[in-house]
Amino acid sequence: MGTGQLFLMPNNNKIIQHNELSIHIFVNGFSFCTKSKVDFLPTNNQNSDFKPAFDKFINYYPKKNFKAISIIHFSHPSTFVPQTLYDDSQKKRYLSHYKTSSQNDVFIHDILKESEKVNVYSYPKEIESILETNKNNYEEIHYNSLLYNLVHELNIRSENKTQLYVHLQKEKVDVFLMKNECLLFYNSFLIKNEDDFLYYVFFVIEQFELETNSFEFIFLGKIILFNSYYKAVKNYHENIYFHEDEIISSQAIQNHNAPFLSQYFS
pLDDT grade for 27, boundaries at 50, 70 and 90: confident
Per-residue pLDDT band at 150 (split at 50, 70, 90): very high
CA distance readout (Å), 58 to 14, 16, 24, 97: 22, 17, 14, 37
Residue 39, beta-bridge partner list:
32
Positive/negative CA dihedral, 26, 30, 88, 81: negative
Which structural domains are found in the chain, ordered by start? Answer: 159-265 (3.30.420.260)
What pLDDT, on a 0 to 100 scale, did the predictor assign at position 7?
Answer: 47
Q: What is the per-residue pLDDT across 72-89, written as a single tens digit (0 to 9) for each?
A: 999 899 999 999 999 999
pLDDT one-digit tens code per residue, 179-214 = 998 999 999 999 999 999 999 999 999 999 998 878
Please count the other Cβ atoms lying within 10 Å of the Cβ belonging to residue 123: 22
Element (H, E) at 162: strand 162-168
